Amino acid sequence: MSGVWVFNNNGGAIRRKALVHLPTGQVVSSYRSLEDILKGLGWERYYGGDPDLYQFHKQSSIDLISLPKDFSKFNSVYMYDIVVKNPNVFHVRDIKSVNGPPGERKPEDGTSREADDEALFKGH
């Protein structure tokens, strides 16, 4: 599942993390779903920065959210950055079970996550 990551703690324990949109309880599973949520919160795409990053800014603040273009590299560091910049909207949670390995889950419309994110980078 996209947005859910396995981290190996020093003792070898494995923990899975997910970015959860609190108002809906949904796990963020693609950049398309994240962008839809962020736009609703007043964030806009920012195109003036690093071309290898997917970025958002808010006109009402100096904050900038920078994410790797490859969603498979979206990890807890990026998740917590989103949480800090959007209090009471997102939460990073440990996940106990996952439906399939990362990247295999498809959005409800049947398209692949990769195709969904690729269309987003091309500006829809």
**What's the whole-model pTM score?**
0.68
88: pLDDT strictly greater than 80: yes
98: pLDDT strictly greater than 70: no
Q: Decide which of 7 and 124 is more confident.
A: 7
Q: Decide which of 97 and 88 is more confident.
A: 88
At residue 95, the pLDDT reads 79
SS (H, E, C) the chain: CCCEEEEECCCCCEEEEEEEECCCCEECCCHHHHHHHHHHCCEEEECCCCCCEEEEEECCCCCEEEEECCHHHCCHHHHHHHHHHCCCCEEEEEECCCCCCCCCCCCCCCCCHHHHHHHHHCCC
Mean pLDDT over each residue of the chain, to the nearest integer: 78
At residue 9, the pLDDT reads 55
49: pLDDT strictly greater than 80: yes
